[in-house]
Copies of this chain bind each other. A is one copy, B any other.
Amino acid sequence: VSRLDAAVAAVERLGPLDERAMAAAAAHLDALTKPQGSLGRLEEVVVQLAGIAGEAAPPVHPAAIVVAAADHGIARRGVSAYPPEVTAQMVRNFLAGGAAINQLAAGIGAELVVLDLGVVGPVSPPGDTAATVRLVSGRIRDGTDDIATGPAMTRDEAGAAIAAGVDVAAELAARGVRLLGVGEMGIGNTTAASAIASVLTGFPPDSVTGLGTGLDADGRRRKVELIARSREVNRPDPRDPLGVLAAVGGLEIGALVGLVLGAAAARIPVVLDGFIVGTAALVACDLAPGLAPRLIAGHRSPEPGHAIVLQRLGLRPLLELELRLGEATGAALAMGVVQAAVRIRDGMATFDDAGVSGRA
């Protein structure tokens, strides 16, 4: 777990956001030909980016999106509208360029990386493909165990999943990536996410459990019961985030914890996707208090647990478009907003340059 400890220590060493860089960014925004603050959330983002990077006008190119993927033992109990083999099928679809995230990543000019932590079944693409998606293996094991009967994985495996995420973040940082979006693929993973959210926020399973990608009311009721059972069986301690991850989490959720920590440690702003990524961010913030201001909540999903998790993180989402797909689709759309904010920051004229009068 030493890579985890190192990443946590690196985030802690950064301390709070850089106030001087934020003040410089805010002053620059105020000099641009628009009423002060009139670009609302876009201006907030520009100031936050400065605080994260420690410079007034950090670039957000190149951008990368990492989709962490793994399978879940609990999926065999029908907690998803889709069968477990869809995880591997969708990873192959990512690699072949056929998924929603392929289109959205291309639309914002972001590199797409698929990180396999433990997908059951073959994950190489079906044949030659024109898609420029990179598959990185961080395989720990073939999916998790059923959390309704025991822990998802061992503590070491949870640490290894986090370390795999830290490694990918470090590699992207070394290659100069300046904006990271993160998402996930794993049939059954809203169940794991709801279990984590329930343990870490103290809300009962019923409050943080939704329909996932398309359960009916009966399916949701079974899901809530299984989450409650996973808590009884594993008795995870909310003061031990790594233990919670090992007990009721998922391999891809662990990797997301590491991606968030690793990117934050490298001063790279991280745009979060939906509910599952949100729970990973919550684990990461419980491991490294002070991390949250380095995160940008991309999209609030309709999953009832997501609003609760975002509240705990103290983050307001940029978008609410009723997406419930995952794959970093919400993150990618929000990254487009971040890029637009930076375009404005870098491209607009100042009042002086343009000969525009200030306030009356």
Contacts and interface: CB of A to CB of B under 8 A. Distances in A.
Given A93-B33, A103-B343, A344-B103, A329 B39 contact: yes
Contact of A347 (B40, B78, B102, B325): B102
Nearest to A36: B214
Interface in A220-245: none
Contacts of A318: 321
Contacts of A107: 339-340, 343
A359 B96 contact: no
Given A35-B81, A321-B42, A357 B126 contact: no
Nearest to A33: B93
A356 to B, nearest CB: 4
Contact of A359 (B81, B89, B323, B346): B81
A156 interface: no
B354 A89 contact: yes
17 contacts: A33-B93, A33-B100, A35-B81, A40-B324, A81-B359, A82-B360, A93-B356, A98-B353, A99-B349, A103-B343, A106-B343, A106-B347, A107-B339, A107-B340, A321-B337, A332-B340, A333-B337
Q: How many copies does the complex hold?
A: 2
Nearest to A104: B340
Given A33-B100, A98-B354, 8 more contacts: A38-B213, A40-B323, A89-B357, A98-B349, A103-B344, A103-B348, A104-B344, A106-B343
A85 interface: yes
A299 to B, nearest CB: 9
Interface of A: 32-42, 78, 80-83, 85-86, 89-90, 92-93, 96-100, 102-104, 106-107, 126, 213-214, 302, 318-325, 329, 332-333, 336-337, 339-340, 343-344, 346-349, 353-360
Contacts of A353: 98
A344 B100 contact: yes
A85 B358 CA distance: 10
Contact of A86 (B37, B302, B344, B356): B356
Contacts of A86: 356-357
A46 to B, nearest CB: 12
Given A35-B82, A38-B213, A100-B348, A89 B355 contact: yes
A210 to B, nearest CB: 12
Contacts of A355: 89, 92, 126
A356 B89 contact: yes
A359 B82 contact: yes
Nearest to A213: B35
B214 A103 contact: no
Nearest to A360: B83
B321 A357 contact: no
A329 B90 CA distance: 36
A339 B33 CA distance: 27
B349 A93 contact: yes
A107 to B, nearest CB: 5
